[in-house]
Amino acid sequence: MKKLLTSLNNYFKYTRKEYEASINALNIFFGAVIGISLGGIGDIPTLDYVLLLVVTATAVTSILFVTYSERQYWSILLVGLVLFAMWSMNNGDDRVMELPPKLLPTLAVWAAMAISTEFSSITGEKKSDES
């Protein structure tokens, strides 16, 4: 059984190029989806638009940290905090701003897929805790 599990694990390992292609594909795809989400915001006041851009850019940056930073756990915590802050700003009686309806789910799925990809094995490389 152990041999079968090891064999399956080896089958699902990325090569370095496959890993980089996966990260690039996620970034391009979700960047386009965010563009579509923001495209439907209509005519909002300039200050609200700037706030929306800052919040969205912060979320995107924190998602990219997951795949490019050496401090993975800190990056994942940061993504969680940023997404929770965005959710909090969009909910409750003292709502700070109204996010486009599909923006937060898009960012959450992107973050989950980036985390999943980052913790996938890469052929020929050991995880830092395996050395």
- Specify if 19 maps to a domain: yes
Q: How far apart are CA 66 and CA 68, in angstroms?
A: 6
> Does the reported pTM lie above 0.85?
no
DSSP string, 58-114: HHHHHHHHHHH-S-HHHHHHHHHHHHHHHHHHHSSTT------TTHHHHHHHHHHHH
Q: Which domain holds residue 38?
A: 13-121
pLDDT digits (tens, 9 = 90+) for 106-122: 999 999 999 988 888 77
83 located within any domain: yes
C-alpha span between 32 and 43 (Å, rounded): 20
Segment-wise mean pLDDT, segments of 10 residues, the chain, 131 residues: 58 79 90 86 85 92 90 92 91 80 93 88 61 40
Domain assignment present for residue 88? The answer is: yes
Q: Which of 77, 75, 71, 96 has its CA nearest to residue 86? A: 96
Q: Is 131 within a domain?
A: no
Q: Has residue 57 been placed in a domain?
A: yes
Contact 97, 89 (CB under 8 A): yes
Burial of 37 (0-12, 13-18, 19+ CB in 10 A): buried
Total domains in the chain come to 1
Residue 129 maps to a domain: no
Structural contact between residues 107 and 59, judged by C-beta atoms closer than 8 angstroms: yes
- Please report whether residue 35 resides in a domain: yes
Contacts of 113 (CB under 8 A, 6+ apart): 26
